Structure 1
Amino acid sequence: MWGFYAHQQINRLAVFTLPVEMIGFYKYHIQYITENAVNPDKRRYAVEGEEPRHFIDIDVYGDSAVYKMPRYWQDAVEKFTEDTLNAYGIVPWHVNLMRYRLTDAMRIGDVKAILVLSADLGHYIADANVPLHTTQNYNGQLTGQHGIHGLWESRLPELFSSEYDFFVGKARYIDNPQLEIWNGVIQAHEALDSVLNFERKLTQDTGSDKKYAFETRGNATVQVYSSDFSKAYHKMLNGMVERQMRKAVAMVGNFWYTCWVDAGQPDLDKLIGFEFSEEELEKRKAELMEWKKKRYESREHESE
């Protein structure tokens, strides 16, 4: 998963790619769609079946598997079994399932479902665009690079995304969403070698006393990658994090728009007045604060 900050930014920025027929509804609910971009992460270790929806360890299926893997769920099940697929991650197939659900919610005008599914779909699409979500070595644990996951997709966006250009143009209709999300996985996986190799080289050239620093997060003091190390790594990646965030923003907008078109282009302006109850909002706020607190205490995200 992207970090807390990046997930929220991706969902928020995707709203501004939408056409006039959609943007009124999504802008009215932009706070919900932004804040709840991390809901799937909060469910990840609490809800059975949630964890594999965030990644695909494509390299376990053999050489060049990212190009050869069955794109459609039933074909993949017939070849590998459902248990195997769930063991190694199902993010591209789950994105397509969520796309169907959001389309149905728009078709029947279920406002609550539209908002929940839009926020969740944005999360899974963003995850599919992270290189380290396409490998068994998701946190560098197999190559002595433990913590690289949090460095790439949390630390770097937090430090440098204010400098990124997020103008990605208007959302477009996707002719084949299942192939589209797989193209995202392919592009992310193709960047994996650079993610790992650049960090390894920089670590060799940097003393451990310069690689890490300590920061206060809430009431806790945590070890983080130093600003100098992060800046050097970011420079070596030559815009990769920005490119992947831009791809995620554009793809989220494209999927939302495609769902709307496939639903028959319903009048979303008629649904603008919907509000979650105070009880629901307070519950979600409490869940969010608890998740943030636990995350800063354990830094579980970096060792996911």
Structure 2
Amino acid sequence: MKHLLISLILLSSSQVFAWGGRGHDTICRVASFLVKEPGLKEYLQHKPQMMGHLCNMPDFYWKSLGGDANKLGNPTHFIDIEVIGLPVKDITTDYKKLIADFTGKSNKFKNDGSTIKSIPTEFGSSWWRVDQFMRIIENLGQQLAKATLPANFKEEQNNELPYNKLAYEMVVSMGLMGHFVGDNSQPFHTTADYDGYATGHGGIHAYFEDAVVGQFDGDLDYLVLKEARAMKNPEFLKPATPIEKMKVLSVISNTEIPKILKVDPVTKKSTLVKEKGMEIKTAAERKPASEAFKKMKPLIVKEMARGSVLLANLWDEAYAKAGKPKLGAYKSYKYPFTVDFVAPDYYDTTTPAEKK
């Protein structure tokens, strides 16, 4: 029983790890080579390794902090579309209105008479999380426009120089935003059945995003970059706003779940038993990830490529809205080994969201 409980803890925490460390790193490295704005492209071509590191910050360092970093941060990694029962196109982009309209309403996914106690916790907010970082970057650009560029080597290495501090914060915000764009390209971050227990595929989340991704050779970045460059005017780039772009990508990602389940090599279905108000989960038994890799490989490459394409597009947009600052003037060797948690700002967080 102890072993089962430990397994349950691991399984229940897997939702917020999206692509796993390797997947997020790949998406952000590839996006660094897809940006089109010259000033941004020139800067990022030397920083793919740093952007990959930053894009993993919300899953690793932030999760180690506990407290609000988990209570407020964990639900920002997903959108559980089925919870409110609306078609994605009809979901408002006003998050406060979403909370007002659906708190206390029936949870359409559970369909057991239970009500939604917390939209931030139960529905999630990855679309708005990306928009938050877009706004942060634009604001930093406005401040950079008023700051003086470093004039010599000494000033270039002065991390307290206003221009350097703002440029550093901008790049960090871009990297952090990349994590949540990547989350949205992972199909199981767009569904309330995020780990497959409703369909007998329990444990699919970590198996798909981590175990199978681990089967790639050293050419993963190349394969994703090649796929990304072949995408011509994808649907998720057509909307006018970051939230709307994220919405479209959510729909595309979500529709690929049946394809993944179809090639999931399950040998014994998972079970979910409710006893005394608790859910006891036993993961599905399945063949090794090496056997699933061949069939899942094309899906993974395409999904990661979509994340990279959207991220590069949003980085370009954010950079342009920030006034296209001369990031090349920022030459400090400061590296973002750890970054402070950034709380959501698009709803009232004074009542902490419960951990999902």
TM-score, normalised to structure 1, is 0.76
Once the two structures are superposed, the pairs formed by residues 130-279 of structure 1 within 5 Å of their partners are 130-160=186-216, 162=219, 164-167=223-226, 168-169=228-229, 175-199=240-264, 202-204=265-267, 211-212=286-287, 225-228=288-291, 230-234=292-296, 239-271=298-330, 273-276=331-334
| Whole-angstrom distance in 2 between the partners of 1:28 and 1:203 | 43
In 2 relative to 1, CA 266–243 (structure 1 residues): closer, same or farther, beyond 3 Å?
Answer: same
Instruction: Give 1:71 deviation, angstroms.
Output: 2.6
Q: 2:75 aligns with which of 52, 69, 84?
A: 52
Residues 132 and 149, structure 1, Cα contact 8 Å, conserved in 2: yes
In 2 relative to 1, CA 107–173 (structure 1 residues): closer, same or farther, beyond 3 Å?
Answer: farther
In 2 relative to 1, CA 245–165 (structure 1 residues): closer, same or farther, beyond 3 Å?
Answer: closer
In 2 relative to 1, CA 122–83 (structure 1 residues): closer, same or farther, beyond 3 Å?
Answer: farther
Instruction: Give 1:53 deviation, angstroms.
Output: 0.7
Equivalent AA in structure 2 for residue 44 of structure 1? K
Q: 2:46 aligns with which of 20, 28, 39?
A: 28
Gapped regions of structure 1 (runs ≥ 5) = 213-224, 286-303
| Whole-angstrom distance in 2 between the partners of 1:257 and 1:83 | 37
Describe the superposition over 1:38-78 as per-residue Cα deviations: whole angstroms up to 9, x where unpaired.
1101223621300011001111122x533322233233233
| Whole-angstrom distance in 2 between the partners of 1:116 and 1:261 | 17
Once the two structures are superposed, the pairs formed by residues 282-301 of structure 1 within 5 Å of their partners are 284=338
Instruction: Give 1:135 deviation, angstroms.
Output: 1.4
Q: 1:93 aligns with which of 121, 124, 128?
A: 128
2:7 matched residue in structure 1: none
| Whole-angstrom distance in 1 between the partners of 2:129 and 2:202 | 27
| Whole-angstrom distance in 2 between the partners of 1:173 and 1:191 | 20
In 2 relative to 1, CA 40–157 (structure 1 residues): closer, same or farther, beyond 3 Å?
Answer: same
Higher helix share: 1
| Whole-angstrom distance in 2 between the partners of 1:2 and 1:118 | 18
1:65 matched residue in structure 2: 87
TM-score, normalised to structure 2, is 0.65
Describe the superposition over 1:203-248 as per-residue Cα deviations: whole angstroms up to 9, x where unpaired.
2599xxx944xxxxxxxxxxxx3412x235426xxx2211111100
2:102 matched residue in structure 1: 80
> Is 1:103 matched up with 2:172?
no
Greater Rg over alpha carbons, structure: 2
Partner SS for 1:137? coil
Residues 35 and 312, structure 2, Cα contact 8 Å, conserved in 1: yes
State which drifts further: 137-146 or 120-129.
137-146
CA RMSD of aligned residues (A): 3.0
Instruction: Give 1:155 deviation, angstroms.
Output: 2.4
Gapped regions of structure 2 (runs ≥ 5) = 1-17, 104-115, 145-165, 270-284, 340-355
Residues 188 and 244, structure 1, Cα contact 8 Å, conserved in 2: yes
In 2 relative to 1, CA 159–94 (structure 1 residues): closer, same or farther, beyond 3 Å?
Answer: same
Partner SS for 2:35? coil
Instruction: Give 1:87 deviation, angstroms.
Output: 1.6
Residues 128 and 188, structure 1, Cα contact 8 Å, conserved in 2: yes
